[in-house]
Structure formats: structure tokens, C-alpha cells
Structure 1
Amino acid sequence: MKIGLYFGTFNPIHIGHLIIANHMVENSDLDEIWMVVTPHNPFKKKSSLLDNHHRLELVYKATEAYDKIKPSDIEFKLPQPNYTVHTLAHISDMYKDKEFCLIMGEDNLKSLHKWKNYETILEHHNIYVYPRIAEGKIDSQFDNHPKITKVAAPIVQISSTMIRNGIKDNKNMKPLLTNEVWQYIDEMNFYRK
């Protein structure tokens, strides 16, 4: 079984994430997508993150209607700060019968050469890239790389930051979230202040 790992803080998960995940699993040779909730990205301020269990619950609520998209808390059990290369080694050891691939936006591919042990990642795992509007060029070593597959997914211009700011400003962000995710955010009074 071939599984695409889609990493994110998902703070909150929105329809853009689901559009990408669903498109990737339906238009590639991936059997499933696991939405890996990252406890703390070393490049993001932790103060703006909801607690891990709340973000995981939002991912559960967002994905329960999709058979091929699953939530994952695999990184919650790993030492922090964590790096993708460590997660991939850990998850591959845990599930020896599965092949794990990375899902990333084109913007992340542009900075892949800065990732910890990116050569090891490319040696052992395929990467599926979806288009994102971003400045700069992709490092030439990643052009036509045999382990990198570009999937012509829709370009989605929705961000979790935009949603958090909209909720804080008392704007209606409901259309950008699944009903279940919106209800949980609303009931828990998240992002209001």
C-alpha cells in the first residue's frame, strides 16, 4: 500500500487541504493520504497554535467522510522539535508493509535543499508535489528528479492564517471549512481573540 503523508499544523484544517488531499489520492498512484498533524513546526510561532489534541480532533472531523484520507498523530509521540526525516524513519519502521511518500506544495520543494537530511528523504521516499504560487526557482537538482512527481492539482488560495484572522475579526469563514470543523471551532470559541 502506497501512502502519501501530508504534513501540516492544520490550524485549522480547511477545504483547501481537503481539495489537495482528495485530488492527490484520486489522481495519482497513492492508495491513501494521511494528514499528519505536526505538534510544532520549528519555523512557526507556537503561541498561535491550538493544542495538539484540538487540531487532531479538527482533522478527524474534516476527514471522517473520506475513505482514503486519514488523520495521523504519529509526530505527537516523537521528540520535539522533530524533522520530517525522523518521522519518515519512524513511520517506516512501524509499518513495514507500507510505502510512504511525501506530499508537498511547490513552495516547499523550492526550500527542500534546506531540509535536514533531504538527500536521505529522496533516497528512500517519493515526493508528490502540487502547484502553489511562490517566489523563487526550484533548485535544478529537483528538476526531472526520478523520485519527484508533479501532480496537476488545483491551486487553492486559502490559508489557515486567513481563516484565523477572519474569525478573530468576526467575519463568516464557514464556507472555507467543513460543517463539522466549523461547529467545533464555533462551540469551542477558537480564534476569537
Structure 2
Amino acid sequence: MTPDGATPEPRPEDLKVPPVVAGLRVGLFGGSFDPPHQGHLHVVETALERLRLDRVWMMVTPGNPLKNRAGLPPLAARIEAARALVRHPRVVVTGLEAGFGSPFSWETVRRLTACLPAVRFVWIMGADNLGAFHRWQHWRRIADAVPIAIVDRPGHTLAALSSPAARALAGRRIPEHEAASILDAPPPVWTFLHAPRSPLSSTALRRAGVR
């Protein structure tokens, strides 16, 4: 809340697509980030290094369509919390999905690839999200539009790799040692990145009263 009790609004620039140049390698990492934590930072840093990215856009969503949004902090507050956590010159925290007016990832990907065809995008998510990826609205449209990189999370490795989406795309998996090449491969294509894993989760932090 602001001092007068009003809900803070995102700055107009936070709702715009970040500036880019042709050929840039950009990772798209979306989430509610309620709250952002070191596990998110771990995913970002792993993707930057292993995929040889120029940027990661940390996209703070208006709210996950598959989750209850009751009690979700305002978008502006979550954007600022993410910025306070991730202080990296190649990471941009943005609320562009709210600017698009849609909470659905397939729509975000469709619009970004249409308006920025010269940028090489890759969708980034934790292994826990791969387990539920088949439940996302039009998930195959995401897979058919951009490469996907999965970063391992504790307790989710086996479930993720045996999930409906992983099985459906099994023939398009790129070996981990060639992970950086997925940005140059035609989708659908994906890779699974093993790295030192963070046990933190937003759900656990909320249950502990941390926000």
C-alpha cells in the first residue's frame, strides 16, 4: 500500500517490452514471484551461463491462471521485490504481460515473436513447472514457437522428465552438453539443465509468512 492506502501501480515503463537489438539471445522467465527468492535467482544465473544468453527477462505476471490469486501482492510490489533480489546487468525485471493484457504464456510468446522476429528467444522454467506444463493453456503453441530450457529443482527431476509434456516432446530433446545450441534450432526443441539445486520455493516461503 502507498502512504494514503492506495494500491501501488506499476510504472508505465514496467509494462512495456524491454529494448532489444537484432540477434540478441533472450531468456523468458515468467512467474508470480510471490515472493521472489534465491531459487529464482539460481534459475536465472544457470540459464544465463549455460545457454549463453545476452539477457533474461524476468516477467512478473499479473497472476498464474492455474492458481488462486487471493492475497497476491500488487504487481508493482512484486516487481520491486524481484529487482531487489536480482541485481544483475543482464537481467531485466518487467511486467510486460500486464501491458499485453493477458495472463497466458502462449499469448506472451506469440506477441513477442511476432513483434521481435530478429530476437532469439528461449522459454525458461523450473522442473516443477514442466510437470504441469501440459495443463497450461495451449502449451504446444509455446513449444512450437520457441525453444524451452528446463532447470532442475529438488524433488521434481523424475516427475518432470516423465510428465505428459516431456513424453510428448521426447524426440526433440537436445543433450545437455549442447544446451546453448537450442536457440539456433527450430522448435519444438528443449533441454534439461542439471545444476546445484536450490530447495527454496515461493509456496513454502508464503506458508512461513515470508513475503
TM-score class, shorter-chain normalisation, is 0.7 to 0.9
Q: For the Cα contact (< 8 Å) 1:74–1:91, is it kept in 2?
A: no
- Residue identity opposite 1:156 in structure 2: S
> Which residue does 1:25 correspond to in 2?
48
CA contact (8 A) 2:27 2:122 kept: yes
Give the Cα–Cα distance (whole angstroms) in 2 for the partners of residues 61 and 107 of structure 1.
Answer: 24
Does residue 147 of structure 2 align to residue 105 of structure 1? no
TM-score, length basis structure 2? 0.71
Tell me how far apart the structure 2 counterparts of residues 161 and 107 of structure 1 sit (CA, whole Å): 12
Identity of aligned residues (%): 26
Separation (CA, whole Å) in 1 of partners of 2:112 and 2:83: 19
For 1:25 and 1:110, the matched residues in 2 are separated by 23
Instruction: Using the TM superposition, give the Cα deviation of residue 41 of structure 1 relative to its aligned residue in structure 2, in angstroms.
Output: 0.8
Which residue among 150, 163, 168 is the counterpart of 1:138? 163
Q: Does 1:70 align with 2:92?
A: yes
Task: Quote how far apart the aligned CAs of 1:157 are.
Answer: 1.1
Q: Deviations over 1:4-24 (max 9, x none)?
A: 111111111111111111111
How far apart in 1 are the matches of 2:133 and 2:63?
19
Find the counterpart in structure 2 of residue 176 from structure 1: none
Who is 1:158 aligned against?
200
- Alpha-carbon deviation of 1:152? 1.5
Amino acid in structure 1 at the alignment position of 2:98: F
Structure 2 CA distance, aligned partners of 1:44 and 1:117?
17
Q: How does 1:49-60 map to 2 (within 5 A)?
A: 49-60=72-83
- 2: CA distance, partners of 1:120 / 1:76: 20
**1-side partners of 2:64 and 2:143: how far apart?**
21
Aligned counterparts, 1:1-12, within 5 A: 1-12=24-35
Find runs of 4+ consecutive structure 1 residues off by over 4 angstroms: none
Alpha-carbon distance, 1:144 to partner: 4.0
What is the CA–CA distance in structure 2 between the aligned matches of 1:144 and 1:156, rounded to whole Å? 28
- Measure how far apart 1:39 and its partner are: 0.6
> What is the deviation of 1:88?
0.6
The answer to whether residue 110 in structure 2 is matched with residue 89 in structure 1 is: yes
Q: What is the total number of aligned residue pairs between the two structures?
A: 167
1:126-146 deviation per Cα after TM superposition (whole angstroms, max 9, x unaligned): 000111223742232222424
Q: Flag structure 2 segments of 5+ consecutive residues without an equivalent.
A: 1-23, 174-188
Three-state SS of the structure 1 residue aligned to 2:70 is helix
Alpha-carbon separation, structure 2, partners of 1:60 and 1:115: 27
Measure, in 2, the Cα distance between the counterparts of 1:161 and 1:123: 30
Unaligned runs of 5+ in 1: 174-190
- Taking the aligned partners of 2:70 and 2:131, their CA distance within structure 1 comes to 27
Q: Which residue of 2 aligns with 1:148?
A: 190
Please say if residues 104 and 129 of structure 1, whose CA atoms lie closer than 8 Å, have aligned partners that are also in contact.
Answer: yes
8 Å CA contact 1:39–1:75 kept in 2: the answer is yes
CA distance in structure 1 between the aligned counterparts of 2:205 and 2:142, rounded to whole angstroms: 32
RMSD between aligned alpha carbons?
1.9
